[in-house]
Amino acid sequence: MDLNKAANELTSQADLISPSACEPFHKYHGHVSYPELAEMSEKKQRFLTVAPFKCTWNEDLRFREAGRGCIAFEAFAQNDVTLVFREQVGSHNYHYKMDNSPNYTIILGSHRNRRLKIEVNGQTVVDIAGVGLCCSSSFQSYWISIYDGLISIGEGRYPFQNMVGQWLDSKPNFSVQYIGLSSWDKHVGYKNIIILPLTQHHASLWSQVGCKEYEVESGKEFAILDIDNDGLGKWELPNFLESWDFSDVMFIVGAERKIVPAHKVILNAYGDFSTNSSSENVINLPAKTYPVLHALLEYIYSGQTKVVESQFDSLRDLSVQFQVLSLIKRCNEISDRFKNKRKLFDSGMKVEILSSSCEVQQSGLFPLEEPAVVGKLKQFLANGEYSDVNIYVEGHGLVARSHKLILSMWSTPFAKMFTGGMVESKSADVTFRDVSSEAFSAMLHFMYSGELEIEKDKMDSLLIPLMLLADEFEIIFLQQECCKCLLECISEHRIYIATALCSLSFSIGALGKTVTGCCTGKKFFSGAKHPDLSRVGVVLLEEDHPSRLSCILQILWTRPQKILKKLLNVLTLTSHNLLQDTVCPILVAIASLPSCKVVEETCKRKISMHFDYCTTASTDFVQLDETTFRDILQHVDMTVTSEEKVLDAILMWSMQASEICGWLAVDELLNSLTPEQLFGKRLPSFDNLLPLVRFPLMPSHLLEKLEKSRLGEHILIFGQLVKEAVQHCSVGSKLIGKDQKSQHRRSSFKELQYMCDGDNNGVIYFSGTSYGEHQWINPVLAKKIAVTASSPTCRYTDPKALVSRVYQPTSFAGPRIEDGRSRTWWMVDIGQDHQLMCNYYTFRHDGSANFPRSWAFQGSMDGENWTNLRVHENDHTVCRPGQFASWPVLGPNSLLPFRFFRIILTAPTTGESNNWNLCICFIELYGYFH
The torsion region of residue 657 among left (phi > 0), alpha (psi -120 to 50) and beta comes to beta
The torsion region of residue 543 among left (phi > 0), alpha (psi -120 to 50) and beta comes to alpha
pLDDT in tens, 813-857: 999 988 888 899 999 999 988 889 899 999 999 999 999 999 999
pLDDT above 90: residue 689? yes
Q: Which position has the higher pLDDT, 749 or 633?
A: 633
Q: Where are the domains of the chain?
A: 3-226, 237-359, 389-603, 663-742, 750-929
pLDDT above 50: residue 188? yes
pLDDT above 90: residue 320? yes
Q: How many CB atoms lie within 10 A of CB 127?
A: 14
* CA–CA gap between residue 782 and residue 773 (Å, rounded): 13
- What is the mean predicted confidence (pLDDT) over 607-632? 87
Quick one: pLDDT band at residue 552, thresholds 50, 70, 90?
Answer: very low
* CA–CA gap between residue 29 and residue 788 (Å, rounded): 69
595 neighbors 467 (Cβ within 8 angstroms): yes
Select the CATH number that applies to the domain covering 750-929 from these four: 2.60.40.420, 1.10.4160.10, 2.60.120.260, 3.30.1300.10: 2.60.120.260
pLDDT score of 497: 32
Percent of the chain with pLDDT over 90: 29
102 neighbors 88 (Cβ within 8 angstroms): no
- Contacts with 627 (C-beta within 8 Å, 6 or more apart), sequence order: none
pLDDT in tens, 210-264: 433 444 444 443 445 544 443 334 567 888 888 888 888 999 999 889 999 999 9
Listed residue (466, 456, 236, 240) closest to 363, CA to CA:
236
Pairing of strands 46-50, 389-393: unpaired
pLDDT in tens, 698-725: 888 899 999 999 998 999 999 999 998 8
* Letter string b/e over residues 587-602, b meaning 16 or more CB atoms within 10 A of that residue's CB: bbbbbbbebbbbbbbb
pLDDT in tens, 555-604: 333 322 222 222 222 222 223 333 455 677 777 766 666 656 667 777 88
pLDDT score of 493: 41
User: What kind and span of H or E run contains 552?
Assistant: strand 551-557
599 neighbors 631 (Cβ within 8 angstroms): no
Using CB atoms within 10 Å of the CB of residue 279, give its burial: 0 to 12 exposed, 13 to 18 middle, 19+ buried. Answer: exposed
* Candidate ranges 8-22, 62-76, 684-698; pick with highest mean pLDDT: 684-698
Q: How many CB atoms lie within 10 A of CB 158?
A: 17
pLDDT above 90: residue 886? yes
Quick one: pLDDT band at residue 280, thresholds 50, 70, 90?
Answer: confident
**What are the C-alpha distances in Å from 51 to residues 77, 78, 122, 181, 651?**
11, 13, 21, 10, 52
pLDDT above 90: residue 16? no
Collapsing DSSP states into helix, strand and coil, what is residue 24?
coil
Q: What is the 3-state secondary structure (H, E, C) of 481-527?
A: HHHHHHHHHHHCCCCCCCCCECCCCCCCCHHHCEEEECCCCCCCCCC
Residue 171 is which amino acid? K
Residue 401 is which amino acid? R
436 neighbors 472 (Cβ within 8 angstroms): no
Pairing of strands 225-226, 188-196: parallel
pLDDT above 70: residue 141? yes
Equal fold, 3-226 vs 750-929: yes
Using CB atoms within 10 Å of the CB of residue 35, give its burial: 0 to 12 exposed, 13 to 18 middle, 19+ buried. Answer: exposed
Q: Please state which of the ranges 219-228, 449-458, 634-643 shows the lowest mean pLDDT.
A: 219-228
pLDDT score of 350: 80
368 neighbors 326 (Cβ within 8 angstroms): yes
pLDDT above 90: residue 112? no
- Contacts with 247 (C-beta within 8 Å, 6 or more apart), sequence order: 261, 262, 263
Residue 301, phi then psi, degrees to nearest 5:
-85, -25
* CA–CA gap between residue 452 and residue 480 (Å, rounded): 11
DSSP state of 385: T
556 neighbors 536 (Cβ within 8 angstroms): yes
Q: How many CB atoms lie within 10 A of CB 9?
A: 12
Q: Which position has the higher pLDDT, 478 or 226?
A: 478
Read out DSSP for 180-230?
EEE-SSS-EEEEEEEEE---TTHHHHHTTSSSS--PPPTT-S---EE--ST
DSSP state of 421: S
Question: Is 3-226 a CATH 2.60.120.200 domain?
Answer: yes
CATH number of 237-359: 3.30.710.10
pLDDT above 90: residue 766? yes
Q: How many CB atoms lie within 10 A of CB 812?
A: 23
Quick one: pLDDT band at residue 779, thresholds 50, 70, 90?
Answer: very high
User: What kind and span of H or E run contains 603?
Assistant: helix 597-609
State the distance between the two ends of the chain, measured CA to CA, in whole angstroms: 59
473 neighbors 516 (Cβ within 8 angstroms): no
pLDDT score of 346: 54
Q: Please state which of the ranges 79-83, 90-94, 389-393, 849-853 shows the lowest mean pLDDT.
A: 90-94
pLDDT score of 340: 65
- What is the mean predicted confidence (pLDDT) over 639-647? 88
pLDDT score of 556: 30
Q: Which position has the higher pLDDT, 104 or 99?
A: 104
Q: Please state which of the ranges 179-183, 427-431, 534-538, 595-599 shows the lowest mean pLDDT.
A: 534-538
Collapsing DSSP states into helix, strand and coil, what is residue 262?
strand
User: What is the pTM assigned to this prediction?
Assistant: 0.50
Partnered with residue 26 across adjacent β-strands are 49
Mean model confidence pLDDT for the chain: 76
Using CB atoms within 10 Å of the CB of residue 479, give its burial: 0 to 12 exposed, 13 to 18 middle, 19+ buried. Answer: buried
Residue 496, phi then psi, degrees to nearest 5:
-130, 165
Using CB atoms within 10 Å of the CB of residue 469, give its burial: 0 to 12 exposed, 13 to 18 middle, 19+ buried. Answer: buried
* CA–CA gap between residue 927 and residue 890 (Å, rounded): 11
* CA–CA gap between residue 190 and residue 82 (Å, rounded): 11
Partnered with residue 195 across adjacent β-strands are 71, 226
Percent of the chain with pLDDT over 70: 74
Residue 771 is which amino acid? Y
- What is the mean predicted confidence (pLDDT) over 528-557? 30
pLDDT score of 799: 92
Read out DSSP for 65-101?
BTTEEEEEEEEEESS-EEEEEESSPPPTT--GGG--S
* Letter string b/e over residues 176-193, b meaning 16 or more CB atoms within 10 A of that residue's CB: bbbbbbbbbebbbbbbbb
DSSP state of 6: H
Listed residue (139, 74, 132) closest to 106, CA to CA:
132
Q: Which position has the higher pLDDT, 233 or 91?
A: 91
Listed residue (640, 531, 546, 550) closest to 591, CA to CA:
531
- Residues for the chain: how many in total? 930
pLDDT above 90: residue 170? no
Pairing of strands 429-433, 389-393: parallel
Q: Which position has the higher pLDDT, 215 or 877?
A: 877
DSSP state of 728: H
pLDDT in tens, 514-530: 333 333 332 222 233 33
Angle at 107 between CA 104 and CA 108, to 5 degrees: 140
Please, what's the largest Cα pairwise distance for the chain? Answer: 106
pLDDT above 60: residue 308? yes
Using CB atoms within 10 Å of the CB of residue 683, give its burial: 0 to 12 exposed, 13 to 18 middle, 19+ buried. Answer: middle
DSSP state of 328: H
* CA–CA gap between residue 300 and residue 636 (Å, rounded): 53
- What is the mean predicted confidence (pLDDT) over 34-42? 38
* CA–CA gap between residue 427 and residue 418 (Å, rounded): 9
pLDDT in tens, 198-208: 754 444 444 44
389-603, what's its fold? Potassium Channel Kv1.1; Chain A (3.30.710)
pLDDT above 70: residue 452? yes
